[in-house]
């Protein structure tokens, strides 16, 4: 169960959590055209707090909206400020932030007509996303029977609510079969991404990740690419197959919620030593240093705030 906080920002105002309600004929509820983000804020060692790459997340929210022809009635700056206001109202010096823009009620049928675009921002505490000891021990993954979206079926680079039906189906299947997460292949059979994470493999000390084809352009993915290259690693954005993944020395998922989660098994094949690999653990610890303001080289990725 999600841990309730006091307030939700709704169309420009903070309202009590239980009063953030909508009508059952809300268009997005029926047809899935809504855009959202997942952002984390972290408490830093010096006692301050910082949102990780806030502006990039808000920019992606607006790009997602543009892609599905929704006009968000606020500026990007106003949404950034509203996120900080919501964290402050909820007295949260760290946690997860979920902005969502959706089409309200009014017209029905797939054409949303002039229905208003509404925006909420919810914040709540959220621990490790893929299981208690996922970050240390790594997770077990299965290739899904569900294919990731074709790029002309869904707008895969937009974070659109309806896209996630595919993720929910794959996740449920994986969990029911005793796995922690699903890996999806693209329509050509190449590795794409997981239900809410991007994927990297490590082979002979080099990193590989699928290119921006059918995948969501993850902000964590971008951070890992930048950070790994700065550390001297070779990183290629190139398609690979599931059997290349089976033969990898290490593999990991990354995302705002999942952070850097090692993969220890795929389709019953052990990856590397069957535990979190040394390079993966290094990226994980560097990532945590960056988000917690302990590596000032990446200070520009941090959006400081005080509660
Ligand atoms: N792929 C999908 C399908 C996702 O939902 C997410 C989470 N937003 C990601 C990748 C990772 O993106 P990010 O690093 O920006 O959170």
Q: Collapse the DSSP code of 23 into the 3-class scheme (helix H, G, I; strand E, B; otherwise coil) and give the result.
A: coil
Judge if ipTM > 0.90: yes
- Which protein residue has the closest C-alpha to ligand 1 atom 10? 197
- Whether the per-residue pLDDT at 186 is higher than 90: the answer is yes
- The answer to whether 137 touches 276, Cβ cutoff 8 Å, is yes
Task: Show the domains of the chain with their CATH numbers.
Answer: 7-124 (3.30.470.10), 134-291 (3.20.10.10)
The rounded distance, in Å, linking the Cα atoms of 58 and 170 is 27
The rounded distance, in Å, linking the Cα atoms of 10 and 292 is 29
Q: What percent of the chain has pLDDT over 70?
A: 100
> What is the Å distance from ligand 1's center to 37 Cα?
9
C-beta neighbour count of 278 within 10 angstroms: 13
Mean pLDDT, all residues of the chain: 97
Which residues sit with their C-beta closer than 6 Å to ligand 1? 38, 193, 196-198, 216, 218-221, 255-256
Q: What is the pLDDT of residue 188?
A: 98
With 0.95 as the threshold, say if the pTM is over it: yes
**Residue among 220, 224, 258, 291 whose CB has most ligand 1 atoms within 8 A, to mutate:** 220
Q: What is the pLDDT of residue 283?
A: 98
Mean pLDDT, residues 110-134: 94
Residues carrying an active site annotation = 159
**pLDDT 10s digits, 37-57:** 999 999 998 899 999 999 999
> What is the Å distance from ligand 1's center to 258 Cα?
9
- Whether the per-residue pLDDT at 131 is higher than 90: the answer is no
Confidence of residue 132 (pLDDT cuts 50, 70, 90): confident
Q: What is the pLDDT of residue 46?
A: 86
DSSP symbols for 83-121: HHHHHHHTT-SSEEEEEEEEE-SS--SSS-TTPPEEEEE
Q: What percent of the chain has pLDDT over 90?
A: 97
């Amino acid at each position: 169960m999600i841990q309730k906080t006091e307030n939700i920002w709704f169309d420009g105002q903070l309202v009590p959590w239980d009063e953030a309600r909508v009508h059952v004929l809300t268009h997005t509820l029926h047809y899935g055209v809504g855009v959202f983000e997942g952002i984390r804020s972290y408490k830093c060692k010096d006692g301050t707090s910082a949102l990780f790459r806030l502006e990039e997340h808000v920019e992606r929210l607006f790009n997602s909206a543009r892609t599905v022809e929704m006009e968000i009635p606020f500026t990007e700056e106003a949404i950034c400020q509203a996120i900080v206001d919501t964290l402050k109202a909820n007295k949260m010096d760290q946690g997860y932030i979920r902005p969502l823009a959706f089409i309200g009620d009014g017209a029905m049928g797939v054409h949303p007509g002039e229905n208003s675009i509404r925006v909420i921002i919810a914040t709540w505490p959220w621990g490790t996303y893929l299981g208690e000891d996922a970050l240390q021990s790594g997770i077990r993954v299965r290739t899904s029977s569900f294919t990731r979206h074709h790029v002309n079926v869904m707008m895969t680079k937009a974070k659109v609510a309806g896209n996630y039906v595919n993720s929910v189906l794959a996740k449920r299947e994986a969990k029911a079969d005793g796995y922690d997460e699903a890996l999806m292949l693209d329509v050509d059979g190449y590795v794409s991404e997981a239900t809410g994470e991007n994927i990297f493999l490590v082979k002979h000390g080099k990193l590989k990740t699928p290119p921006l084809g059918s995948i969501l352009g993850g902000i964590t993915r971008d951070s890992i690419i930048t950070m790994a290259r700065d550390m001297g690693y070779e990183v290629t954005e190139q398609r690979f197959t599931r059997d290349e993944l089976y033969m990898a020395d290490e593999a990991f998922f990354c995302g705002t919620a999942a952070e850097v989660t090692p993969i220890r098994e795929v389709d019953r094949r052990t990856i590397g030593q069957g535990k979190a690999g040394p390079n993966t653990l290094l990226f994980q610890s560097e990532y945590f240093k960056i988000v917690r303001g302990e590596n000032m080289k990446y200070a520009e990725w941090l959006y400081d705030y005080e509660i």
